[in-house]
Amino acid sequence: MEVLTYAVVIVVVRKREGGGYEFLVFDVERLKGRNTGHTLVKFPGGGGKFMDFQKLSWTVRRKLFGETGLMLKIGANVQEIMPNDFPDKGHRRHFALVWLDACAGKLRDVVDRKPHRNLGVPYWLSFEELEKAICDTHWPILRRLKELRLAV
């Protein structure tokens, strides 16, 4: 089946004091649909229409700022670390890795209320905390983070 829809999941990582890494997430409270009332822990990201790496970088820039308040610096490295296809649904999800050092600005410090969901204030989790908390649609990235030696 042809890919009809695209999404990007942005894994923002920073070095943790004392060693290891932390990952930027936020809580998403669903206000409509079958998951109404559920709160999920997610990475920043969302839908976008892109077909090549250059457009992926712009989608990451737009989504990162819109959901976290962080701005991707011009020329910053956006590393696509894993595409995740759902051929039966015609959907492709791109997982992109961005280091906090490649960002400028200040993290959003208020809940972002949308008509269909509330985005909680972004916060940092260690890999161990991430494994216990992240929503199931973002689980595929955990194995890849281990391969990249970021699971420490």
Going by pLDDT thresholds of 50, 70 and 90, the confidence category of residue 46 is: confident
CA terminus-to-terminus distance, the chain? 38
Lowest pLDDT segment from 49-53, 89-93, 107-111, 125-129: 49-53
Cβ contacts of 106 within 8 Å, gap of 6 or more = 69, 70
Q: Which amino acid does the sequence have at 55? A: K
One-character DSSP codes across 86-113: EGGGTEEEEEEEEEGGGEEE----S-EE
Structure tokens at 146: 């281990």
* Max avg pLDDT among 32-36, 76-80, 111-115: 76-80
Q: Give the residue-averaged pLDDT of 26-32.
A: 76
**What share of the chain has pLDDT > 70, as a percent?**
82
Prediction pTM value: 0.86
Tell me 139's DSSP state.
Answer: T
The per-residue pLDDT for 89 is 65
* Exposed/middle/buried for residue 69 (C-beta within 10 Å: 0-12, 13-18, 19+): middle
Model confidence band, residue 73 (pLDDT cutoffs 50, 70, 90) = very high
Q: Which residues of 116-131 are buried (b: 16+ CB within 10 A; e: fewer)?
A: ebebbebebbebeebe
- Place 8 in a pLDDT band, splitting at 50, 70 and 90: confident
Which pLDDT band, with edges at 50, 70 and 90, does 118 fall under? confident
More reliable by pLDDT, 36 or 47: 47
Mean of all residue pLDDT scores within the chain? 84
**123 has a pLDDT exceeding 70:** yes
